Amino acid sequence: MSVNEQSVGRVYPPTAPYVVSAAKIREFAEAVGAGDPAHVDPAAARALGYRDVIAPPTFAVLIAQQCDAQFVADPQMGVDFSRVVHGQQTFVHHRPLTAGDEVIGVLHVDAVKVVAGNAMVTTRTELTVAGEPVCTSTSMLVVRGEQP
Protein backbone atom coordinates (compact mmCIF):
# COMPACT_ATOMS: atom_id res chain seq x y z
CA MET A 1 0.00 0.00 0.00
CA SER A 2 1.35 3.44 -0.85
CA VAL A 3 0.91 6.67 1.11
CA ASN A 4 -2.60 8.06 0.94
CA GLU A 5 -2.29 11.15 -1.27
CA GLN A 6 -5.72 12.28 -0.07
CA SER A 7 -4.22 13.01 3.36
CA VAL A 8 -3.09 16.51 2.30
CA GLY A 9 -4.81 19.05 4.53
CA ARG A 10 -5.34 16.60 7.36
CA VAL A 11 -4.84 18.03 10.85
CA TYR A 12 -4.29 15.67 13.76
CA PRO A 13 -5.58 16.29 17.28
CA PRO A 14 -3.32 18.16 19.73
CA THR A 15 -0.81 15.99 21.53
CA ALA A 16 -0.66 15.55 25.27
CA PRO A 17 1.59 18.20 26.85
CA TYR A 18 5.32 17.56 26.64
CA VAL A 19 6.90 19.00 29.78
CA VAL A 20 10.29 20.49 28.98
CA SER A 21 12.64 19.82 31.88
CA ALA A 22 16.02 21.30 32.71
CA ALA A 23 17.40 17.75 32.86
CA LYS A 24 16.21 16.94 29.32
CA ILE A 25 17.62 20.23 28.04
CA ARG A 26 20.98 19.45 29.67
CA GLU A 27 21.04 15.92 28.20
CA PHE A 28 20.17 17.21 24.74
CA ALA A 29 22.68 20.07 24.89
CA GLU A 30 25.43 17.65 25.91
CA ALA A 31 24.46 15.17 23.18
CA VAL A 32 24.61 17.79 20.41
CA GLY A 33 27.59 19.69 21.80
CA ALA A 34 25.67 22.90 22.48
CA GLY A 35 27.94 24.73 24.90
CA ASP A 36 25.95 27.90 25.62
CA PRO A 37 25.71 28.29 29.43
CA ALA A 38 22.04 29.29 29.03
CA HIS A 39 21.30 25.61 28.29
CA VAL A 40 22.57 24.39 31.66
CA ASP A 41 22.88 27.35 34.05
CA PRO A 42 19.65 29.04 35.23
CA ALA A 43 21.60 32.16 36.28
CA ALA A 44 23.08 32.50 32.79
CA ALA A 45 19.62 32.08 31.24
CA ARG A 46 18.10 34.66 33.62
CA ALA A 47 20.89 37.10 32.74
CA LEU A 48 19.63 36.86 29.15
CA GLY A 49 16.04 37.54 30.23
CA TYR A 50 14.68 33.98 30.42
CA ARG A 51 12.93 32.50 33.46
CA ASP A 52 14.99 29.27 33.34
CA VAL A 53 17.41 27.36 31.09
CA ILE A 54 16.59 27.39 27.38
CA ALA A 55 16.81 24.51 24.96
CA PRO A 56 19.10 24.40 21.93
CA PRO A 57 17.05 25.21 18.81
CA THR A 58 17.00 21.62 17.55
CA PHE A 59 15.49 20.35 20.82
CA ALA A 60 12.10 20.93 19.18
CA VAL A 61 12.69 17.83 17.06
CA LEU A 62 11.99 15.65 20.12
CA ILE A 63 8.45 16.98 20.27
CA ALA A 64 7.90 17.31 16.52
CA GLN A 65 8.83 13.68 15.89
CA GLN A 66 6.28 12.57 18.46
CA CYS A 67 3.73 14.47 16.40
CA ASP A 68 4.98 12.92 13.14
CA ALA A 69 4.43 9.53 14.75
CA GLN A 70 0.68 10.19 14.61
CA PHE A 71 0.85 10.27 10.82
CA VAL A 72 3.14 7.26 10.55
CA ALA A 73 0.96 5.17 12.89
CA ASP A 74 -2.33 6.15 11.22
CA PRO A 75 -3.49 3.07 9.27
CA GLN A 76 -5.47 5.30 6.87
CA MET A 77 -2.24 6.92 5.70
CA GLY A 78 -0.64 3.71 4.45
CA VAL A 79 2.87 4.39 5.74
CA ASP A 80 5.21 1.41 6.12
CA PHE A 81 7.63 2.73 8.77
CA SER A 82 10.32 0.27 7.68
CA ARG A 83 10.47 2.25 4.42
CA VAL A 84 10.64 5.74 5.97
CA VAL A 85 13.72 7.93 5.56
CA HIS A 86 13.91 11.34 7.23
CA GLY A 87 14.57 13.76 4.39
CA GLN A 88 14.58 17.27 5.82
CA GLN A 89 13.74 19.28 8.95
CA THR A 90 13.40 23.03 9.44
CA PHE A 91 12.39 25.16 12.40
CA VAL A 92 10.98 28.65 12.77
CA HIS A 93 11.29 29.67 16.40
CA HIS A 94 9.03 32.28 17.93
CA ARG A 95 10.87 32.03 21.23
CA PRO A 96 13.19 29.48 22.86
CA LEU A 97 11.75 26.42 24.53
CA THR A 98 12.31 26.94 28.25
CA ALA A 99 12.44 24.53 31.18
CA GLY A 100 8.95 24.33 32.64
CA ASP A 101 7.15 24.78 29.31
CA GLU A 102 4.26 22.44 28.66
CA VAL A 103 4.29 22.11 24.89
CA ILE A 104 1.32 21.03 22.79
CA GLY A 105 1.88 19.96 19.17
CA VAL A 106 -0.59 19.97 16.30
CA LEU A 107 0.44 18.09 13.16
CA HIS A 108 -0.63 19.22 9.68
CA VAL A 109 -0.10 17.20 6.51
CA ASP A 110 0.90 19.87 3.99
CA ALA A 111 1.94 17.84 0.94
CA VAL A 112 2.29 14.36 -0.48
CA LYS A 113 4.23 14.08 -3.72
CA VAL A 114 4.93 10.75 -5.39
CA VAL A 115 8.10 10.63 -7.49
CA ALA A 116 9.38 7.42 -9.09
CA GLY A 117 7.27 5.36 -6.70
CA ASN A 118 8.55 7.15 -3.59
CA ALA A 119 6.23 9.35 -1.53
CA MET A 120 7.61 12.61 -0.18
CA VAL A 121 5.41 13.71 2.71
CA THR A 122 5.70 17.22 4.13
CA THR A 123 4.30 17.74 7.60
CA ARG A 124 4.16 20.87 9.70
CA THR A 125 3.96 20.80 13.47
CA GLU A 126 2.82 23.90 15.32
CA LEU A 127 4.19 23.86 18.86
CA THR A 128 2.47 26.07 21.42
CA VAL A 129 2.71 26.81 25.13
CA ALA A 130 -0.49 28.05 26.80
CA GLY A 131 -1.89 28.71 23.33
CA GLU A 132 1.04 30.91 22.27
CA PRO A 133 3.21 29.88 19.28
CA VAL A 134 6.69 28.68 20.23
CA CYS A 135 7.99 26.89 17.15
CA THR A 136 6.90 25.73 13.71
CA SER A 137 8.66 22.56 12.63
CA THR A 138 8.46 21.37 9.04
CA SER A 139 9.54 17.85 8.19
CA MET A 140 9.82 15.97 4.93
CA LEU A 141 9.67 12.21 5.18
CA VAL A 142 10.45 9.97 2.23
CA VAL A 143 8.50 6.72 2.14
CA ARG A 144 10.44 4.52 -0.25
CA GLY A 145 8.35 2.61 -2.73
CA GLU A 146 8.69 -1.10 -3.16
CA GLN A 147 11.20 -2.07 -5.83
CA PRO A 148 10.01 -4.53 -8.50
| Residue 54 lies in domain | 5-143
Q: Is residue 148 part of a domain?
A: no
What does the pLDDT read at residue 51?
97
Residue 97 has pLDDT above 90, yes or no: yes
- List helix spans (H) across 36-105: 42-47, 60-73
Residue 137 has pLDDT above 80, yes or no: yes
Whole-number Å distance between alpha carbons of 25 and 96: 11
Q: Is residue 91 part of a domain?
A: yes
The pTM for the full model equals 0.90
What does the pLDDT read at residue 29?
97
pLDDT tens digits along 103-125? 999 999 999 998 888 889 999 99
CATH number for the domain harbouring residue 26 = 3.10.129.10
| Kind of pairing between the strands at 84-93 and 18-19 | unpaired
Q: Is residue 128 part of a domain?
A: yes
Q: Is residue 123 part of a domain?
A: yes
Mean pLDDT, the chain, rounded, equals: 92
Q: How many domains does the chain have?
A: 1
